[in-house]
Structure formats: C-alpha cells, structure tokens
Structure 1
C-alpha cells in the first residue's frame, strides 16, 4: 500500500482541490472537492467522492448509504450515528478521526488506512475489508461478524470488544495490536496471525472453547 500523506498539501491531487462550502446532496458526484469544517445532518445516500479531501467534517445522523469514496482523504472528522451501509471505500485514508455509532454493514473497503482514529460502536457485519490498515487506533465495540478480511493489519492499535464471530480471515495480522479484546474468544480467528504473548493471553479462552480444564493442583 502506498504511503499515506499526513498533510493535505502532500496529496498528489492537492493542487486540483477546490473549496466546496455547500451541503452534501444524495446521488451527487464530487470530484477534487475540499470540504472543510462542514457540518451535516441530512441525506446524501449514493453520493460519490473522487479525489476529495474532508477536513474537520462533522456528520451527525447523516445518511450516506451506498456512498462511494475513491482516493478520499479524511482528517480530523467526527462522524456520529452516520449510516454508511453498503458504502464503498477505495484507496482512501481516515486520519485522526472519531467514528461512533456507525452503521457500515455490507460496506467494502479496499486499500484503506485508518490512522490514530477512534472507532466505537461500529457495525461492519458482512463487510469486505481488503488491504486495510488500522494504525495506532482504538477499536471498541466493533462488530465484524460475518465479514471477509484479507490482508488486514492493526499495528499499535487497541482492540476492545471486537467481534469476529462468523468472519472469514486471510492474512490478517494481529501481532502489532497493543491489546486483543475478543469477546467471542477464538471463534473467527482462523486465518489470523498472532504473537506468542497474545497466544498466552488468549489461552484461557482457547481452553474454554475446547472444553479443557486447566488446574495446577
């Protein structure tokens, strides 16, 4: 995955960006637009964002079902109770942002980076994640039940109450996680890479799942 710029000016399309002060609209196509400090609560389902930058954007209860984000760059966002079900993300980055109460079931994320983000109460059931990185993030109460994860990594991230029940994993690298809080235990971990220390931490859950009683005396 290419290096993700930390600064707006470092985006390859930064010189093409044009300020967009207006509201978001359903089914609208936005190309090389810069949304800065936008606050939005309405309907924008099916909107398309191509080579767009969204900085300091606050969405509260907004509807972006089936929205498309292609080469989008999101920084300092606060999205609460936003509907992103069946949305499509490709070659995009979300940096220093808070996403809480998100409905993102059935979404597709390909080559997406989350860096220094907080994801809380996020529903990604049945989602597709391919080449996705969660770097230095907090994932709390994130539901990935039935999702398909391929080439996903979590360097420096903390996982709390992350559910993988029924998920399909391939080359999912959990070794860089600061903490693995998996309430479903080993269920859904087939196809994941974990470290030795993590294996010891998860040992009680593995033993319970296998019906093993561990006693030293």
Structure 2
C-alpha cells in the first residue's frame, strides 16, 4: 500500500516551500499546491522532500536528483525530466503526459495508481521499480535497461521496447499487455500462458510469419 504523508519517517521535519529555485538543494521541503509554468531547474537535488497536489507544465528539471522523495497527486505535463536520478521515490496518483525522461535512472521507485501518456523513457535505467495499478499508454522504453521491474494490476498499451534489455521483469500480474514495437526484446521477461497467446499475432508479425488457415 502507498504511504500517506504522515507515514514518512521525515514528515515531522518537513518545511513548506512556495517555490522551486533554479539552483541549489532542498532538504526536508514540502511543496504543496504549487502550479509551476515552465520552470527552469537544472541539477538541483531534492532529499527527503514531499510534493503534493502540484502541477508542473513544461519546464526543465534535467540532471536533477530526487533522493527519498514522496509525490502525491502531482501532474507533469510536457516536462523535461531527462537524465534525472531517482532513488527511493514513491509516486501516488500522479499523472505524466508528454514527459521527456530519456536517459534517466530510477532505482527503488514505486508508482501507485499513476497514469503515463506518451512518456519517453528511452535509454533509461530502471532497477527495482514497481508500477502498481497504473495505466501506461504509448510509453517508450526503447534502448532502456530494466531489472527487477513489476507491473501488478497495470494496464499497458502501445509499449515501445525495441532494443530494450530486460532482466527479471515480471509482467504476469499486468491486467493487459499491448506491445507496439520490439516484442523480440521481451527476452528476460516472465509472462503468463494467456499473455503469450495474446501476444502471438505480434510475435508473428515481428518475425515475418504468415498465419493462414487452410
């Protein structure tokens, strides 16, 4: 189950902040109810911070680091999160649309009831990441490296994974599994018999197999 704000071990130390500056570092800051339009934030570190009920539209957070952060009911719209580093982060009921997160690193990150729409994770590294009851639509993980990633209760459609490297990726609990490209890169993933049957047409198309009854 996702944590509430009061469950965080650093909750009593959080201090409210009303803005995010373009430089520096934040420690035990709580960003609540913010509406950021085109913020220009590069290389900033957020440690033991909380984000709640906030919206980021556009803007750049490239090269920033998020260590032990909690984000609830946040919206990221066309934001540049490329080459960011996330460790021990938890997203709850977040929405990411048109986000650029290529080349980013996510380690021990969990997503609960989140929505991903046209998110670019190309070339990213995901280690021990869980997508719980999420919706992933047209997500690009081509050339990415996924290790120990799970998708319990999630709906996946239009997934692009050409040249992705998967290791110990468990797709068995996903509610739906739609692959748009790169089905041959599923090596290293575990699926159910039913999912394998559903993917059969995609496998046939990828390997040039014509299926025709007599």
- TM-score bucket of the superposed structures, by smaller chain: over 0.9
Q: In structure 1, the residue corresponding to 2:63 is in which secondary structure? A: coil
* Aligned counterpart, 2:110: 113
Task: Give the match for residue 128 of structure 1.
Answer: 125
Query: In the alignment, is the contact (CA less than 8 A) between 1:185 and 1:205 conserved in 2?
Result: no
Secondary structure, aligned partner of 2:184: coil
| Residue number among 85, 88, 92 corresponding to 1:88 in the alignment | 85
Task: Identify the residue that residue 53 of structure 2 maps to in structure 1.
Answer: 56
CA distance in 1, matches of 2:58, 2:149: 28
* Match in the other structure for 1:148: 145
Q: Bigger shift: 184-193 or 73-82?
A: 184-193
List alignment gaps of at least 5 residues for structure 1. Answer: none
- The unaligned stretches of length 5 or more in structure 2 are none
Question: Secondary structure in 2 aligned to 1:30?
Answer: strand
- Is the 1:185–1:202 Cα contact (8 Å) retained in structure 2? no
Provide the rounded CA distance (Å) in 2 between the counterparts of 1:16 and 1:70.
Answer: 16
TM-score normalised by L of structure 2: 0.96
Residues 161-196 of structure 1: CA distance to partner in whole angstroms, max 9, x if unpaired? Answer: 111101000000011111111011522111111000
Displacement after TM superposition at 1:37 (Å): 0.4
- CA distance in 2 between partners of 1:210 and 1:123 (Å): 26
Q: 1:78 aligns with which of 69, 72, 75?
A: 75
Conserved 8 A contact 2:179-2:202: no
- Matched with 1:29 is 25
The RMSD of aligned alpha carbons is: 1.2
TM-score, normalised to structure 1's length? 0.95
Tell me how far apart the structure 2 counterparts of residues 107 and 201 of structure 1 sit (CA, whole Å).
31
Q: Give the alignment partner of residue 97 of structure 1, picking from 94, 97, 106.
A: 94
SS at match of 2:201: helix
Tell me the alpha carbon deviations over residues 36-79 of structure 1, each in whole angstroms, 9 at most, x when there is no partner: 00111221111111000000111001210011110000000011
The answer (yes or no) to whether the contact 1:143–1:162 under 8 Å persists in 2 is: yes
C-alpha displacement of 1:27: 2.7
Aligned residues: 213
Whole-angstrom distance in 2 between the partners of 1:140 and 1:86: 21
Alpha-carbon separation, structure 1, partners of 2:150 and 2:27: 30
